[in-house]
Structure 1
Amino acid sequence: MEFHIENMTCGGCARGVTKAIQTVDENAKVIADPPNRSVKVETQATQQQIIDALSEAGFPPR
């Protein structure tokens, strides 16, 4: 799955996004791309679980 995260603008944000996703699925593969404000996720978690975790961490996806 792929998300657009408007307020992910730097490496620190990318680490925060990755950490949030991995609280739901510690084995998730996360590829964050801050310049394009996108994140690709390979996970066993549901899309809604990832959306909820990102929103709770302050990185609401679109």
Structure 2
Amino acid sequence: MHEFQLPDMTCGHCAGVVGQTLHLADPACKFQVDLPARKVTVQSDEDRAVLAEALADAGYPPA
């Protein structure tokens, strides 16, 4: 289980992009977005660094 703080995730569109990005990095992942807290929790066998890099490349670098 990985948890990322995403300060740049501010709206529903942002959350959708984050979800798409995570599924591209690991199609089998499951995630939960907490938009008010600007946080995403990811259940994935993929390495944390790979997920963080994918999020950063999509414009949502983890804090």
Instruction: Note the C-alpha offset of 1:33.
Output: 1.1
The aligned length equals: 62
User: Mind listing any 5+ residue stretches in structure 1 that lack a counterpart?
Assistant: none
**Matched residue, 1:24:** 25
Instruction: Note the C-alpha offset of 1:11.
Output: 1.0
Separation of aligned partners in 2, 1:13 and 1:22 = 14
Query: Could you state the TM-score of these two structures normalised by the residue count of structure 2?
Result: 0.93
Query: Could you state the TM-score of these two structures normalised by the residue count of structure 1?
Result: 0.95
User: Mind listing any 5+ residue stretches in structure 2 that lack a counterpart?
Assistant: none
Instruction: Note the C-alpha offset of 1:39.
Output: 0.3
% same residue: 35
Q: Which structure dedicates a bigger proportion of its chain to helix?
A: 1
Separation of aligned partners in 2, 1:27 and 1:15 = 17
**Matched residue, 2:57:** 56
